[in-house]
Amino acid sequence: MRLGASPKKAYKYLISLVDINLSGVVDIDTLNEDLITMTTRGKQAAAARLGVSSKIILPVDNIILAEELERESKEKDDIIEAKDTIIDEQAKEIAELKKRLGEDE
């Protein structure tokens, strides 16, 4: 060992990015299952190629799960926003009706 060198083993990093165009995807659940299967197989293949345990390969499927949860959250936020708009419109209608009732008396 040379002077000042770290006694720790050198680490290798393999970073993969899967970019998927989701336009035209009909069944997002099937797509997610396929992606998780694909990343699991990819982790196992990378681990075998590097000669390490697949347990130390970063779990890319967690990133996929996070993306899925973010998408579902956005969809629910959009639904809530649409319902809030309807509630606001109905509140205005109620206020207008109350005003008319007050004028009629």
d(CA 75, CA 69): 10
Residue range(s) defining the domain that contains residue 85: 28-104
pTM listed for this prediction? 0.39
d(CA 5, CA 72): 48
2-42: pLDDT as tens digits: 555 555 666 666 666 666 777 777 787 888 788 788 878 88
How many domains does the chain contain in total? Answer: 1
Q: What are phi and psi of 12, to 5 degrees?
A: -110, 140
Quote the mean pLDDT of the chain: 79
The larger pLDDT score, comparing residue 95 to residue 104, is at: 95
Residue 1 in any domain: the answer is: no
